[in-house]
A and B are shown apart, each in its own frame.
Chain A
Amino acid sequence: MVIKVENLVKRYGELIAVDHLSLEVRQGEIFGLLGPNGSGKTTLINCILSLLKYDKGNISIFDKPMAPDAYDIKRDIGVIMQNVAVFNELTVYENTDYFCGLYIKDKEERKKLVDEAIGFVGLNDFRSFYPKKLSGGLLRRLNIACGIAHKPRLIILDEPTVAVDPQSRNNILEGIVRLNQQGATIVYTSHYMEEVEQICSRIMIIDKGRIIAEGTKEELKSMINIGEIVSVESVELDRTLLDSIGQLPNVSQVGYENQNLTVIFTKGRNNLLHLMDLLRKENLSYGSVYSKLPTLNDVFLEFTGKQLRD
C-alpha cells in the first residue's frame, strides 16, 4: 500500500476538519480526492504529509509510519501545493535546481533531473525567466517541475489547476497521466469533477471531513438512482402535458423553465425514445435535444443534497 490512513481525526478547536476518515492509496493508481472548498481535502493531505498535527489516527506511507523526520519516506514524495511555492529571485532553472537539490546530492544527476523536469512541463524556452515574467499557467508548470524533479514514487497534487487557463490545464492533466504511466502513484485533489473524472482511476468524495463515497467513477455513478438526464429546448408545454411526461416509464423528476424541459430518468432502457414518442404524438415542435449520463456532481448532489461547487 502506498498510503494508508486509519481513523484520522483533525480538529481546529470546535470544528472537526477530518472526521474519522480512513483511506488506502494503491501502487500505480491515480487516486482522486474530490470535494467542495472547505471539505477537508487540504487538511487531510497536510496530515498525511506530517505537516499538521492531528488528534487521532494512524498514517503510513510505503508501509512505514509517517513522521516529520521520516526523511527516507519524504525522499520518495513529491508535493505540488495549490498555491505556487517558488522564489521570485530565482530563475525557472534555479528554482527547480534548488528544490531538487534538497533531495538529490549528486550534481550531475541533479542537472539531468532538472533538465528532464523542465522539459516535462514544457518550460524549456523559459529556463532563464524569473517567475514574475511567467503567466499564471506557466507558473503552475514551474510549481510542478519543482515538485517532481527528484522523480518521486508518490506525487501529491493539491488543486494544481486552480486559476489556470484551459491550455495549461490540459498540459498539466496530460503531464499527470504521463507521470503515472512512468510509474508514479498519484494523489490528486480537486473540486473540479471533470478533471477527476478525466484522469483518476479511483475517486473518494469527501465533505465536511467525512467520506461520502468511494470507488471508480462507474462504481460511484452506479450508486445513485439517476440513469439519464434529457433536456429539450424551445418546447411549448402545458400542465397536462407535463403530467403526461411525469407518467412515462423511469421518470423521477420533471422540470420546465423558459420553454426548456429537463427530465431525469432512473436507470432503464429507451427513456429518450419514450419521451420523443410522446412529443411527436402531441405534434409539438422543439429545438435541440440533449441526453447526458450522470456526473460526479449528480453523485455528490444525491448524497449531500447540494451541488459540488456550492
Chain B
Amino acid sequence: MFMHIFKYRMKCFLGDKVTLFWTMLFPILLSILFLMAFSNLSNVDSFTGARVAVVNNDAYKSDKMFQETLASVTEKHGDDAPLLSMELVSLEEAGTLLEQGKVHGVILLEPDIRLVVNQSGIYQSIIKSFLDQYKQVSASYKSLFQTNPELLTDGDKLVDYSADYSYLTEKGLGKNKTDNTVTYFYALLAMASLYGSFWGVRVVSEVQADQTMRGARINLAPAHKMKMLLAGILAAWIIQFVELSLLILFMSLVLKVSFGNQVGYILLTCLVGALTGVTLGTLVGGLIKKGEGIKIGVLLGISMIMSGLAGLYFASFKYFVTKAIPIIAYVNPANLITDALYALYYYDTYQRFALNIFLLLAFSAVFCMLTYLSVRRDQYASIPSIQEGN
C-alpha cells in the first residue's frame, strides 16, 4: 500500500503547477535577476592590475635592478592578472596620462623613487606598497653588499637569497578565488530549499480530516496515518531534491555560478536541504490549525526571514549575524545550507561542511518528530473542512 500511496502522491505533486512554480521556476527566475543585478558588482570586484606610467629618464635607464623588478611584476602568471601594467613614457606624457586618468600613478626616479598620484584608492595603495617593498628590499641588498662584498662575485648565493621574496600577492582563504556574489546565489538556493516547505504543508493537509475533505476521506480508510504521511514526505522530498538539483544545474551551466567541483557533496547538501524544507512545512502544517493559505503565508515569511539572515538581501548580513549572534546562525536552516555550500567552495577541509549537514539533519529529525506529535491523533473536536467543503 505504501508504494500505491507514494505513486499517487508523486502524481499529485507533479500536477500541482502552482507549487511547482514557486518551488522551481520562481527561484530560477530570481537567479536570473540576481545575475543581471550582480554582473557589474562582480566586474568591479575583479582585480585587473594597477596601471602605472614610468618616466623613462636617465636614472631609470641606469637602474637595472628596478627595471628587472618592474618586469617581474608586470608579467602575467597563469590566469592571474599582473600586479602592475606599465607604460614607459616621457615626463610630459606621464603627466598627461595621469591627468586623463589613464594611469593610477606615475613612477619617477630622480634617482630616489617617487610616486606621483592625483587621488587615493586601492590601486594607488598597491603601487605605493610595491614601491615601499622594493625600497626595503633594495636597501637590504645594499646593506648586504656592504657587509658581504663576496656576494657581488658569488651570483648563486644572491639568487637563492632573492628567490624567497615576493611582492604583494593575492592570497585566498582556500582553494577558490573570493567571489562575493556566490553568497547571494547560495542564499537563493537556501531559500529554494525552504520553499520545499510548501510541499510539506500539502503532505499534512492531505492526511488531516480537519484540514481538507480528502483528508477526511483518507481518515475513513483502513490505512495507517503515519504510512500516509511518510509516503507523502518521501514523494515531496524527491521532487524537492530534483528541483534543487535542476536549480543548481541551471545556475552552474547557464549562469556560470561557481559551486566548486565537488558534485557529490553539493548534491548531498541539496538532499539534506530538501528534507529540512519539506519537514519544516509538515511541522507548520501540523501545528497551525488554519487554512492552507495562512500556512503558506507563514512559511513564506519564515523562509524570507531565514534566507535574509543567510545573506539573500545583503551578503554581509550573513557575516554580521554569524559574528554578532552566532546562535542565530546555527539555528537558521537557510544559513546552514548557505554555509555548507560556502564551506565546500572555500575550504579544503570538510569539518565545517559536516557540521552544517549534521545540524540540518538534526533539525529535520526534530521537525519530523514534532510533526508526528501534532498529527498523530485520529479523532477531532470539530471538522470545519467537511462543513466548509475545503
The answer to whether A68 touches B12 (Cβ under 8 A) is no
CA distance A42 to B382 in the complex (A): 11
The answer to whether A102 touches B1 (Cβ under 8 A) is yes
The answer to whether A82 touches B386 (Cβ under 8 A) is yes
- Residue of B213, B379, B390 with most partner-chain A CB within 10 A: B379
**Given A69-B378, A74-B222, A84:B12 Cβ within 8 A:** no
The answer to whether A85 touches B213 (Cβ under 8 A) is yes
CA distance A177 to B221 in the complex (A): 24
Pick the contact of A84 from B213, B387, B388 — CB < 8 Å? Answer: B213
Return the CB mask of B372-384 against A: 1 if under 8 Å, else 0.
0000001111110
Q: Output the least CB separation between B326 and chain A (Å).
A: 43
Task: Identify the closest chain A residue to B390 (Cβ).
Answer: A83
For residue A256, which residues in chain B have a CB less than 8 angstroms away from its CB?
none
The answer to whether A90 touches B379 (Cβ under 8 A) is no
The answer to whether B382 touches A12 (Cβ under 8 A) is yes
The answer to whether A85 touches B214 (Cβ under 8 A) is yes
B4 beta carbon closer than 8 Å to chain A: yes
The answer to whether B221 touches A103 (Cβ under 8 A) is yes
For residue A147, which residues in chain B have a CB less than 8 angstroms away from its CB?
217
Count of chain B residues near A, Cβ 8 A = 33
For residue B4, which residues in chain A have a CB less than 8 angstroms away from its CB?
98, 101-102
CA distance A87 to B14 in the complex (A): 12
Task: Identify the closest chain A residue to B13 (Cβ).
Answer: A89
The answer to whether B386 touches A86 (Cβ under 8 A) is no
B327 beta carbon closer than 8 Å to chain A: no
B-contacting residues, A61-106, CB 8 Å: 68-69, 71-72, 74-75, 77, 79, 81-90, 94, 97-99, 101-103, 105
For residue A88, which residues in chain B have a CB less than 8 angstroms away from its CB?
15
Q: Output the least CB separation between B332 and chain A (Å).
A: 33
A146 beta carbon closer than 8 Å to chain B: yes
The answer to whether A101 touches B1 (Cβ under 8 A) is yes
CA distance A165 to B219 in the complex (A): 29
The answer to whether B222 touches A102 (Cβ under 8 A) is yes
List 20 other contacts, CB 8 Å, given A52-B380, A53-B381: A51-B209, A51-B216, A68-B219, A74-B222, A81-B213, A81-B216, A83-B386, A83-B389, A85-B212, A85-B214, A87-B8, A89-B12, A90-B8, A90-B11, A90-B15, A101-B4, A102-B1, A102-B4, A102-B218, A102-B221
Q: 23 A–B contact pairs at CB < 8 A? A: A46-B383, A52-B382, A52-B383, A53-B379, A53-B381, A68-B219, A68-B378, A81-B217, A81-B386, A83-B386, A85-B212, A85-B214, A86-B214, A87-B214, A88-B15, A89-B12, A90-B12, A94-B11, A99-B217, A101-B1, A102-B5, A102-B222, A103-B221
